[in-house]
Amino acid sequence: MTANATPVLSARGLAKSFGAVVAAADVTIEVPAGQRLCLIGSNGAGKTTFVNMVTGYLKPDGGAIELDGQPILGLGPRQIANKGICRSFQIPQLCVELTMRENMLVACAAAAPSGLSFWRDPGSDGRRARADDLITRFGLAAFADRPVSELPGGVRKLLDIAMALTRKPRLLLLDEPTSGVSAEEKFPAMDRVMEAIAGEAATVVFVEHDMDIVRGYADRVVAFYSGRVIADGAPDAVLGDGEVKRYVTGDAA
């Protein structure tokens, strides 16, 4: 990539307050194509607020957001998803009474150009093949016919991410993909997620609290504290930063 290539995501000067709480203050993050960017920060630092603003779930008080150089600020979540920015949630958004495959089919159908008219034909062959392909690539085939209400939290998390990939997004934002995943499953789960994302040629931004996962999967780390970016760079440099140790990882002597 050349140094002046247009970033996939350009978020500049984002601001957001909830009453007296400043959730974003002059947040500027640009993400080049193919990068694996990790957002870290203690509880309430502003990570989910950033994800919500980029995906249209929250309107910033100020700033600019562009996808491939095109402004997207002011568009709603569905319009932004259609343009190529998709997400998973800190708490997965699933229909718990439907099976895993049915949830995937709904996601595939909702991603189709006909949109919500999917109810006429939710299980067309193309969608069924796409749903089953993603289920297999995420290693979830054994759970495909089980209702989501019976599935463990870590499996639900993976399903939510697989559903976010159905639109073949250009940029995927994952809010805490390993929370609720057992310690021994975290690395295998992230391997599957990253392989699937690479297979779709998507760029990824993920929020993570587990620093072993951060070190294992991020090309670059941005650290938040109190709505501000306090460090941005290579993982070793950011995790070794004095303010990050003090305010984020608690590693300060």
Ligand X SMILES: Nc1ncnc2c1ncn2[C@@H]1O[C@H](COP(=O)(O)OP(=O)(O)OP(=O)(O)O)[C@@H](O)[C@H]1O
Residues that bind Mg ion (CB under 5 A): 47-48, 90
Q: Considering only residues 11, 29, 49, 171, which one is a binding residue for ligand X as defined by CB under 6 A? A: 49
Cα dist from 152 to 78, 105, 147, 160, whole Å = 28, 20, 11, 13
Question: Which candidate, 71, 8, 38, places its Cα nearest to that of 219?
Answer: 38
The residue (of 48 and 166) whose beta carbon lies closer to ligand X is 48
Q: Considering only residues 7, 14, 38, 46, which one is a binding residue for ligand X as defined by CB under 6 A? A: 46
- To ligand X, the closest distance from the beta carbon of 168 in angstroms equals 26
Q: Considering only residues 8, 14, 23, 231, which one is a binding residue for ligand X as defined by CB under 6 A? A: 23
Q: Tokens in use for 51?
A: 């994800």
Residue-wise over 107-132: b if at least 16 C-beta within 10 A, else e? bbbbbbeeeeebeeeeeeeebeebbe
- Please give the Cα distance from 68 to 58 (Å, whole number): 20
The residue (of 59 and 78) whose beta carbon lies closer to ligand X is 59
The residue (of 137 and 209) whose beta carbon lies closer to Mg ion is 209
- Please give the Cα distance from 231 to 233 (Å, whole number): 7
Site string for ligand X, 190-229 (x = CB under 6 A): ----------------------------------------
Sites of contact with ligand X (CB under 6 A) = 18, 21, 23, 41, 43-49, 90
